[in-house]
């Protein structure tokens, strides 16, 4: 076994150990809950644009993009647009003609203008509309082709996310990924979501569970969650195993 093979073997062993460490997983959940009142995820930018994500999840996402080399990345939920810029920057590094499609029911004018002024906007397309509606999904499906990575991060209710999963999962083919963010809501304290229409029992995690029960094309990539420990997407990194 050469040194690179040994490194990979050691990594697999470390990840297996992390997966079995329930105490570390508990501590990670506690840290995430403690950081939420400080707006931790709102404190970062990607190439000058606010990106409302854990840095840990961005590291995992770049690994997925680099490994799978998608032609299109479809993201529901735009917010300030930092995640779109992140994906566009990865596609720029990959070369080729890859693009990002961002879908949001309300793309605010100041956010749109900042995106349009960004040097990576040539890789970004936008659709304003409800991502869980048939007409918006049909429009998106008509725009994309080739290898597609789907990232769901808009309305976090069970009903909305489940519909997004049903509409956009057919775009993902074998060895591709469908990433569902904020499944961590199911494990978070109720008081964090008192002013939201989602919470325990009604969130992306519950939608993923129902989706997977009837869709054998996808499975949870548990290695990603084990490696990260701190992630807003536990059980949300879905790998497509069959066309």
Summarised one tens digit per residue, pLDDT across range 4-18 is 999 999 999 999 999
Q: Structural domain of residue 112, as residue ranges?
A: 3-240
Rounded CA-CA distance 143/64 in Å is 22
User: Would the pTM count as exceeding 0.75?
Assistant: yes
1 pLDDT band (50/70/90 cuts)? confident
What region, left, alpha or beta, does residue 103 occupy, with left being phi > 0 and alpha being psi -120 to 50 degrees? Answer: beta
Burial of 168 (0-12, 13-18, 19+ CB in 10 A): buried
Summarised one tens digit per residue, pLDDT across range 182-235 is 999 999 998 899 899 999 999 999 999 999 999 999 999 999 999 999 999 999
Domain CATH number, residue 118: 3.40.50.150
Per-residue confidence (pLDDT) for residue 38, from 0 to 100: 96
Say whether pLDDT at 21 is over 80: yes
**Domains of the chain: total:** 1
Task: Give the CA distances from residue 150 to residues 11, 21, 141, 236, in Å, rounded to whole numbers and listed in that order.
Answer: 27, 30, 11, 12
Tell me the average pLDDT across 13-29. 96
């Amino acid at each position: 076994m050469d040194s690179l093979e040994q490194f990979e073997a050691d990594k697999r062993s470390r990840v297996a150990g992390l997966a079995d460490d329930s105490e570390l997983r508990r501590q990670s959940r506690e840290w995430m809950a403690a950081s939420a009142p400080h707006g931790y995820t709102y404190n970062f930018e990607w190439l000058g644009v606010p990106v409302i994500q854990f840095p840990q999840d961005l590291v995992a996402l770049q690994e997925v993009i680099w490994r799978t080399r998608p032609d299109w990345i479809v993201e529901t939920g735009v917010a300030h647009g930092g995640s779109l810029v992140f994906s566009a920057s990865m596609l720029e590094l990959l070369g080729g003609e890859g693009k990002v499609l961002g879908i949001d029911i309300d793309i605010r004018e100041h956010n749109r203008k900042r995106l349009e002024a960004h040097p990576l906007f040539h890789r970004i397309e936008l659709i304003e509309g409800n991502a869980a509606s048939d007409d918006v999904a049909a429009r998106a499906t008509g725009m994309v082709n080739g290898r597609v990575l789907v990232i769901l991060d808009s309305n976090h209710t069970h009903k909305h996310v489940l519909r997004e999963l049903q509409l956009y999962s057919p775009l993902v083919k074998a060895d591709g990924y469908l990433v569902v963010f904020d499944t961590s809501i199911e494990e978070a304290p109720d008081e964090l979501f008192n002013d939201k229409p989602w919470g325990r029992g009604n969130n992306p995690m519950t939608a993923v569970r129902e989706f997977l029960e009837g869709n054998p094309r996808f499975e949870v990539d548990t290695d990603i969650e084990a490696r990260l420990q701190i992630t807003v997407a536990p059980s949300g990194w879905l790998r497509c195993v069959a066309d």
